[in-house]
Amino acid sequence: MIRLPADRPAVMGILNVTPDSFSDGGAFADWREAADYGRSLAAAGADIVDVGGESTRPGAVEVPVEEEMRRVIPVVSELASSGVPVSIDTRKATVAEEALRAGAVVINDVSGFRDPDMVSVAAESQATVCIMHMKGEPRNMQSAPFYKDVVEEVKGFLAGQADLLSSRGVPHENIWVDPGIGFGKRHDDNLVLLRRLEEISLIGFPVLVGVSRKSFLGTISGEPTPRLRLGESIAAGLYCLQRGARILRVHDVAATVGAIRVWQALQNSG
Ligand code: HH2
């Protein structure tokens, strides 16, 4: 488990050890290079480094468990032994379990602990859990998602899963929630979720948001290359903080940390 700083938002740095992530796939030759990059994220001010071995971009197919383990476990182990707080971004209970054994302190499950085995792994550990909302699976989530009221549906799911985890013994302070921007959402669903983010924090858990480089930002700005959406990502991230988010999951850690410092100084001045 990990304690959030009381006096400022937290930053989760993204470390994708995948050949095909939407903005930064295939960046590392081996696990040593990946771990070095993870350490550089921590040095740039990331409070947590989120290690993922399976892309969950729209249309992505599932990676076999052995392959996902091969990608992430050495990186988790190396980072944890350097004292970096590590989060494991996985939908698979076996990968989560092995990552916790290797030193991870957060389970970030984009399928929101729908798998009972994942609930058991969380319940038997001291880990912090991030429950994310996703409609469907990455393979099919963008084929005509529909909501009557997206905020109510996302809130209902997150509150229900938080209740389930609590009933299995996961302490309240170990639970975070995430609306899952871009996961089975239309463009306007993403915008409404961000505009009404405060309603999600009313469930009573810290809210984590991942907007970094996502395609809805490109739809707004016209920038087709995810890596070049830095300004867009910072603007959306600060907006989320204004609406009550406590943790930002980002690719560009140094720029985000600087932006948060300025935002906070302005908030606290006078
Ligand atoms: N977004 C992605 C992956 N994991 N986890 C949480 N909690 N919230 C998010 O919004 C989120 C997430 C997708 O981004 P990325 O890891 O950059 O890409 P890919 O899934 O293609 O590896």
DSSP letter (8 states) at residue 221: H
Which amino acid is located at 26 in the chain? G
- Catalytic residue, chosen from 155, 185, 214, 246, is 214
DSSP letter (8 states) at residue 62: P
- How much is the pTM? 0.97
Ligand 1 atom 8: residue of nearest CA? 210
Buried b / exposed e along 35-55 (16+ C-beta atoms within 10 A): bebbbebbebebbbbbbbbbb
Q: Check pocket membership of 206 for ligand 1, CB cut-off 6 A.
A: no
Among residues 249, 238, 178, 258, which one has the least CA distance to residue 212? 249
d(CA 69, ligand 1 centre) in Å? 18
Q: Check pocket membership of 260 for ligand 1, CB cut-off 6 A.
A: no
3-class secondary structure, 250: strand
Active site residue 249: yes
pLDDT one digit per residue (tens) for the chain, 270 residues: 899 999 999 999 999 999 988 888 888 889 999 999 999 999 999 999 999 999 998 888 889 999 999 999 999 999 999 999 999 999 999 999 999 999 999 999 999 999 999 999 999 999 999 999 999 888 887 887 899 999 999 999 999 999 999 999 999 999 999 999 999 999 999 999 999 999 999 999 999 999 999 999 999 999 999 999 999 999 999 999 999 999 999 999 999 999 999 999 999 887
- Give the atom of ligand 1 at the shortest distance from the alpha carbon of 181: 10
User: Rounded to whole angstroms, how far apart are CA atoms 237 and 255?
Assistant: 11
Q: In what order do the strands lie in the sheet with 175-178?
A: 175-178, 128-132, 106-109, 86-89, 48-52, 10-16, 247-250, 208-209
Q: Check pocket membership of 56 for ligand 1, CB cut-off 6 A.
A: yes
* Strand extents, DSSP E, the chain: 10-16, 48-52, 86-89, 106-109, 128-132, 175-178, 208-209, 247-250
Q: Check pocket membership of 108 for ligand 1, CB cut-off 6 A.
A: yes
User: Rounded to whole angstroms, how far apart are CA atoms 134 and 114?
Assistant: 10
Active site residue 214: yes
